């Protein structure tokens, strides 16, 4: 055993399987080590897997062999006394399926084993004990999610120090299947809530080929039914994408609308945050430029909240709940356009009907197309970008609502001067319109720095209008 070496982490040929080299401090009395030190180990690249249960395996004789078991949780394995030979086989679906790694462990070594990687241990000394921290509580139901591999599998070809013929094995372990007969461990799933909204529909298109993504509308999971959300079986999930929201900005100022806005936009994210903490999940949540009063021409992620109306206030409250999570992404968007009711479609309809609308000319911002938002969500998850809040919208010069309306009219072959620009005060006179931020332009430098490439707003608008007009023309010919 080595004494006094520095704490460090090395990667292996199995993705996510990490070897930790632990300082062991010894003297005439024995030795001491920090077996689990969250802050130091995270700084070296160990995931923040937040263990909830500690198990100890005592083995009376050398040659005691257990495995190969792939389990539905992450674990950190370390030796308390003696030495063990560890063998790991990736049993997750994917390119690394069947990859093998082996290592001898003593008290100065630990191994982080991610979900779905099969692990097996053979003791090399009598009276060996090893422990493992896991990030879920064991239950009888968990066993149906295990995947097993035979210790003697020829494909893995593990060079056991003590022949399996002379080792102590359980009868169950002897009967596990060979690799060719193993069903790969299913990946943890992602649940999209609000799947029938504009962003929800874009996520359906984005993840159409992903068997590990589920979609729920309000009929499947009503976020306002907190008991149902808390009772939902989250054991098979790693990620929640909350694309549900109450977006009726003007109606939110009414008594009933105020209640709905706070229920969906504030209370529901709070419940999802609780779920995410209890089940170690990543929560992705959509926010809005309406959390700001709009006095600042361009908003970055660090700007303090200053919402003007009930809708913005409820969205800000939801953001605060989600921000409390260690693993979260908040995507702050503006002027969302997708499949559903939105400003661009409304202007297209008015243009086709020959209407000359009055449109606000003193509110400025950039569109955020739902497909771009879905792409941004996919990007942040795939690249494992740092958790936190990211502004997401199109790139390019910002514009007023009136300027965008004129652009839509032009794209529809209509005279853009049919659109009359008016002030917010004039437009809202004698109405119950909610207050809106004058400036909704978002600084998107932070997400761009992660490698995300936003669409140019003006080109995206051309593409969107062209696609919608083509779809409508196709309907007319059938």
Q: Verify whether residue 69 is a known catalytic residue.
A: yes
- String of DSSP letters for 172-223: HHHTPPPGGGPPPBPPPEEEEESTTSHHHHHHHHHTTT-TTEEEE-TTT--T
Q: Under DSSP, is residue 50 helix (H, G, I), strand (E, B) or coil?
A: coil
What is the enclosing helix (H) or strand (E) of 132? strand 128-134
Q: Is 285 a catalytic residue?
A: no
- The tokens 């009726």 sit on which residue? 248
Name the strand (E) or helix (H) holding 370: helix 370-383
Catalytic site residue from 115, 132, 290, 311: 132
Contact, 184 vs 147, CB < 8 A?
yes
**Whether 224 contacts 263, CB under 8 Å:** yes
- Cα distance between residue 264 and residue 239, in whole Å: 19
- How many Å apart are CA 119 and CA 69, to the nearest integer? 5
How far is it, in rounded angstroms, from Cα 349 to Cα 353?
6
Alpha-carbon dihedral sign for residues 126, 127, 133, 138: positive
Phi-psi region of 56 (alpha: psi -120 to 50; beta: other; left: phi over 0): beta
* Burial of 346 per CB tally in 10 Å (0-12, 13-18, 19+): middle
| Distance between start and end Cα atoms, the chain | 78
Residue 173 CA to residue 67 CA, distance in Å, equals 6
Nearest residue to 386 via CA among 14, 114, 20, 48: 48
In 3D, which of 435, 424, 398 has the Cα closest to residue 307? 435
Q: Could you tell me which residues come within 8 angstroms of residue 286 by beta carbon, excluding any fewer than 6 positions away?
A: 199, 242, 243, 245, 330, 331, 333, 373
Please give the Cα distance from 152 to 140 (Å, whole number).
Answer: 27
- Among 69, 176, 216, 285, the active-site one is 69
Residue 194 backbone dihedrals phi, psi, to 5 degrees: 85, 40
Beta-sheet pairing, 336-337 with 368-369: parallel
Would you name the residues annotated as active-site residues? 69, 132
């Amino acid at each position: 055993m080595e004494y006094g070496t520095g704490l460090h982490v090395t990667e292996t040929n199995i993705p996510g399987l990490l070897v930790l080299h632990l300082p062991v401090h010894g003297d005439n009395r024995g030795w001491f080590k920090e077996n689990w030190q969250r802050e130091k180990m995270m700084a070296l690249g160990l995931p923040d897997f937040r263990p909830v249960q500690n198990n100890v395996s005592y083995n009376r004789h050398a040659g005691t062999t257990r495995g190969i078991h792939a389990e539905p949780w992450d674990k950190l394995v370390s030796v308390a006394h003696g030495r063990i030979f560890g063998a790991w086989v990736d049993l997750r679906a994917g390119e690394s399926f069947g990859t093998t790694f082996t290592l001898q462990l003593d008290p100065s070594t630990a191994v982080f084993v991610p979900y779905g990687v099969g692990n097996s241990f053979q003791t090399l000394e009598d009276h060996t004990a090893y422990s493992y921290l896991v990030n879920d509580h064991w239950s009888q139901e968990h066993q149906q999610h295990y995947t097993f591999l035979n210790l003697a599998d020829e494909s893995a070809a593990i060079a056991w120090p003590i022949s399996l013929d002379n080792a102590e094995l359980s009868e169950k372990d002897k009967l596990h299947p060979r690799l060719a007969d193993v069903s790969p461990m299913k990946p943890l799933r992602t649940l999209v809530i609000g799947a029938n909204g504009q962003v929800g529909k874009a996520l359906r298109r984005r993840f159409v080929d992903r068997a590990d993504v589920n979609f729920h509308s309000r009929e499947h999971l009503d976020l306002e039914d907190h008991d149902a959300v808390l009772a939902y079986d989250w054991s098979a999930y790693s990620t929640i994408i909350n694309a549900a929201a109450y977006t009726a900005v003007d109606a939110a100022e009414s008594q009933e609308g105020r209640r709905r806005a706070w229920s969906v936009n504030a209370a529901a994210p709070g419940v999802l945050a609780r779920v995410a903490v209890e089940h170690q999940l990543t929560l992705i949540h959509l926010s809005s430029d309406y959390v700001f009063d709009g006095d600042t021409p361009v908003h970055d992620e660090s700007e303090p909240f200053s919402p003007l109306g009930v809708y913005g206030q409820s969205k800000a409250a939801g953001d605060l709940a989600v921000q409390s999570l260690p693993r979260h992404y908040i995507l702050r968007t503006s002027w969302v356009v997708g499949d559903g009711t939105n400003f661009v479609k409304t202007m297209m309809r008015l243009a086709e009907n020959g209407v000359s609308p009055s449109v606000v000319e003193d509110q400025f911002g950039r569109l955020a197309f739902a497909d771009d938002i879905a792409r941004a969500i996919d990007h942040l998850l795939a690249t494992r970008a740092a958790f936190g809040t990211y502004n997401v919208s199109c790139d390019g010069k910002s514009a007023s609502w009136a300027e965008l309306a004129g652009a839509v009219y032009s794209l529809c072959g209509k005279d853009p001067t049919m659109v009359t620009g008016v002030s917010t005060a004039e437009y809202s006179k004698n109405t119950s319109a909610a207050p809106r931020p004058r400036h909704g332009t978002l600084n998107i430098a932070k997400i761009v720095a992660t490698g995300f490439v936003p669409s140019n707003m003006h080109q995206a608008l051309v593409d969107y209008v062209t696609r919608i007009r083509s779809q409508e023309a196709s309907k007319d010919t059938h």
